[in-house]
Structure 1
Amino acid sequence: MMLWLLLLQVWASCLWLGHSEVVTSFESSCPQFFFRETPPNEALEPENPAWICQRYNNQYFFATLYDRKERIPVYSAYIYEPGPGKRPQGWLVEPQLINDSLPQDMYTVQALERAYNITRAQIMQSQAVSADYENSGWDRGHLNPNGHHNTLASRNATFTLTNIVPMNKKLNRKAWKKYEQQTMRQKTKKCQTDKIYVIVGAVPGNSSIAGGRVNVPSHIWSGACCKTKNNTVSAWAAIANNKLNRIWKISLGQLEKRLGQLYGMQNVSLFHSDCPRNMSLTSWA
């Protein structure tokens, strides 16, 4: 009898742990994706948020604050570890946005429907699906790009729709791609390779796709902070209007100020206070 009770307790504990994919805070669940384990403050939190420790193949790869109402991420936070590899195929969704009793790992829509008798309508209530983007005129734009990861599993994990926003095609394929691939490589040369923390976000706009289901962001932004090889701390940032093929390279402090203006909020803080706010000159890219 005692053994049965012990096994029951272990089983119950495992069930509780299985509900940690959509979490109550990043600090207590997946703080490793933030510099000094310090997520952004509450200034950017939407009305109906979901904190997601993005899990694939039983491993956490990044963190996303998701806006259930607008069906786009507010931001995704990750550690920059670029490497060669093929671009993954297919799009994933987050089961625990539907019900926290569903699996922690990401699934395709079809696999989730078959395995758990979930309807397409149930999935669409809580998040965007790939079909929302079809014939919309907008790219499925990654916040956390697959090219910033060096394993097949970590690249696959970025192909969740909770990491995707409608992005201007020219911006996504030209100026923003240049920033992701060239500017980030240049900026990170002075960093310790395993200590480069990035947060990429989207500011909700005034239009939508898929009959009003998915918000089209007005701006896309990125901030980064790293410990350098000289044991100092460096930071930089960028922001782009989602209607233009142009990026504004700015300091972290300038980005926080601009986001404060766009959100109508004061004291936006994206990184730990050790990350310098006034480095880097403003320039076009």
Structure 2
Amino acid sequence: MMMMMLVVLLIYTCWPYTPGNGEVVSSFEDFCPQFFFRGTPPSMGLDPSRPARICQRYKNQYRYATLYDKDNRIPVYSAYIYNPGTAKRPDTWRIEPQLLDSTFPQEMETEWAFLKEYNSQEEALQDSQAIARDYKNLTGLNRGHLNPNSHQPDRDAKSSTFTFTNIVPQAIKLNGGAWNNYEQKTMLQQTEGCNETFAVVGAVPGNNYIAEGRVNKPSYLWSAACCVIDNNHMKSWAIIAQNDENVVYSLTLRQLEERLAKLYNLNYISLFDRDCPRE
């Protein structure tokens, strides 16, 4: 009996770490692959010099995935499953404690609550990510969601999109105009007949900044979707917009990937698994 207990203990202590306990993770594939078509994140070429892979966690559940640029303090992209609902729009903004250190809480929380508990960490928080003060008193810009709350099904899922790791400084006219029209109308039309739609929405860093150089203002915003109709039928679509115009340009997935490759000075970019149609 004693020998069996020792064997069980040995197996338990040597068993590999399992996903589910982290928010800032080493690999999307290992922790939250469900937000990517066939579990395949965009190609590594989009990685900034100091990336953070965030499985966005709220109320003990992963809601979507974000690749975050810690130098520019904006997301590179957010990936999610399109599932719009009619719950009320939230208005409480949150930060990601684990961007400071993996020992901090695993779930997003309000800046106020975090600093109340960890009042010595204010400077470290500001160094790790954008905060509320960065988005105060903007001129011609506002908080542009990559994963919009309107594409999420319920109050908790919508609340999870209100984190500073999911937004960028976006031109007000674009955010409330052509981009909003795409989010609210075009996506609804395009997804008709889709059993599941995987979306990836991103931002290309620009040459300008807000908040005294702390937060980059993207030069372009883009969005791509891969729709699964059934096992044998799929379709895709994409858009791109300059962040100083109120115009959205419709592209094929292949055209967007080629455009992004040029913008990032790369030979090749893939946003979805190869089985997603490019035309």
TM-score bucket of the superposed structures, by smaller chain: over 0.9
Q: Which runs of 5+ in 2 are unaligned?
A: none
The 5 Å alignment of 1:1-285 reads 20-137=22-139, 138-192=141-195, 195-229=196-230, 231-278=232-279
Partner SS for 1:256: helix
Q: 1:166 to 1:230 in 2, by over 3 A?
A: same
Aligned pair count? 275
Task: Give the Å deviation of 1:11.
Answer: 10
Q: Residues 77 and 17 from structure 1, CA distance in 2 versus in 1: closer, same or farther, beyond 3 angstroms? A: closer
* Partners of 1:38 and 1:154 in 2: CA distance: 22
Amino acid at match of 2:160: A
State how far apart, in whole Å, the 2-side matches of 1:78 and 1:144 are: 7
Q: Distance in 1 between matches of 2:127 and 2:258?
A: 34
Which of 222-231 and 65-74 deviates more?
Answer: 222-231
The residue that corresponds to 1:282 in the other structure is none
Output one character per residue of 1:106-136: Cα deviation in whole Å (capped at 9) or x when no partner: 0111100112334322111010012101112
Distance 1:249 1:115, change over 3 A: same
Matched AA of 1:42: M
Q: CA deviation at 1:12?
A: 11
SS in structure 1 opposite 2:30? Answer: coil
1:231 is displaced (CA, Å) by: 3.8
Question: AA paired with 1:35?
Answer: F
* Aligned AA (2:85): G
Cα distance change on mapping 1:210 and 1:42 into 2, 3 Å: same
SS in 1 for 2:190: helix
Deviation (angstroms), 1:252: 0.3
**1:188-216 residue CA offsets vs partner (Å, 9 max, x unmatched):** 00211xx1100000000000000000000
What is the CA RMSD across the aligned residues, in angstroms? 2.5
The letter of the residue matching 2:229 is: T
Distance 1:225 1:249, change over 3 A: same
Contact 1:19 1:100 in 2 (8 A): no
Q: Under a length normalisation based on structure 2, what TM-score does the superposition of the two structures give?
A: 0.92
Q: Name the stretch that deviates more: 225-234 or 251-260.
A: 225-234
- Out of 53-62 and 223-232, give the one that drifted further: 223-232
